[in-house]
Amino acid sequence: TWRLLFDRAHQIDAPPKTVLYPETEQVRTAHLVLVVDGLVRVYRTSRSGREVTIRYARRGDILGLPSVVAQASPAAAQAVVPTRVVAMSAEVLRSRAQRDSQLAWAMAEEMAGSLFNIQERLAHNVFAPVRSRVARYLLDVATPAGDSHVATASYEDIAGAIGTVREVVARTLAALRDDGLIRRTEEGIALIDLD
């Protein structure tokens, strides 16, 4: 199956903010992407234009399995940092899974794990205090940079991702900085103490 998928695959090198695939409710639109390097944000957009992050994907994560089954993709995927992905044929995987119960079960396990992670993220964004939501966001988007991890995000990015406003994010980041947990660098927000 991997051989068949990679025979029709193509690599995408995406700079930050590149939409790897858009949201679409249209039937027969499916996406299947393997993250090779970088960080990808999967999100939904409301009719008013507000976005909510559903999950983050890193090296080795597969995106789009629900769209392979449903043949629709209501969520979009966007590179957060310079990212390399391999786009594969959803049709090939769907066809193989319909004939191979072990492959179909592996897909179901992967989707169940993703669903549980999404549910945990939703509960955290609804119930956790703002400080915890900001810290979680920074941990989610931080990438290794030398001897630390750095999150490259604007106050607006953070506010949109956790459901608050820029001013609240600014106060929360100042408190985290005063506590010695983060510091501003040219690259972004360096996380000093991951624990």
Q: How much is the pLDDT for 34?
A: 94
**What's the predicted TM-score (pTM) here?**
0.79
- The whole-number pLDDT of residue 26 equals 64
Element holding 76 (H helix, E strand): strand 76-79
Tokens, residue 93: 């995987």
pLDDT at 45: 85
**Which amino acid is it at 126?**
V
Q: Determine the pLDDT at residue 28.
A: 63
The pLDDT assigned to 25 comes to: 67
Q: With b meaning 16 or more CB within 10 Å and e meaning fewer, what string describes 162-174?
A: bebeeebbeebbe
- Tens digits of pLDDT across the chain (195 residues): 878 888 889 999 999 999 998 887 665 678 899 999 999 999 888 888 878 888 899 999 999 999 898 888 888 999 998 999 999 988 899 999 999 999 999 999 999 998 998 898 888 888 899 999 999 999 988 988 877 899 988 898 898 888 788 999 999 999 999 999 999 988 899 999 888
Tell me if residue 79 falls in helix, strand or coil. Answer: strand
Beta bridge partners of 150: 143, 190
Do the Cβ atoms of 107 and 65 come closer than 8 Å? yes
